[in-house]
Amino acid sequence: MADVVDKGLRKIGITMSKPALAILCIIFGIVVLVWRDLLNIVVGIFLLIQGILLLTDYLELRNQQQSSSG
């Protein structure tokens, strides 16, 4: 899953090292544990970002397949 997020971030021009991403995840985990009310917001934001990244990856692959076959 981290590879998918890393690849998606690179597509939109954001590069982040794996240790920095791991630290960010740990920080978000601590925030969720301390302030449980933020759980819905953090998970919602994560799912929105993940969905957008997956959709853009799918569309890019589809465009590459169409351009190579046509």
Q: Please give the pLDDT value at position 24.
A: 76
Tokens of 8: 């998606």
Residue 30 has pLDDT above 80, yes or no: yes
User: For the segment 35-68, what is each residue's pLDDT rounded down to a tens digit?
Assistant: 888 888 888 887 888 788 888 888 888 888 998 8
Report field, pTM of the whole predicted structure over 0.85: no
> Would you state the pLDDT for residue 14?
59
Measuring CA to CA, which residue among 55, 28, 30 is closest to residue 43?
Answer: 28
What is residue 1's DSSP assignment?
Answer: -
Quick one: pLDDT band at residue 70, thresholds 50, 70, 90?
A: low
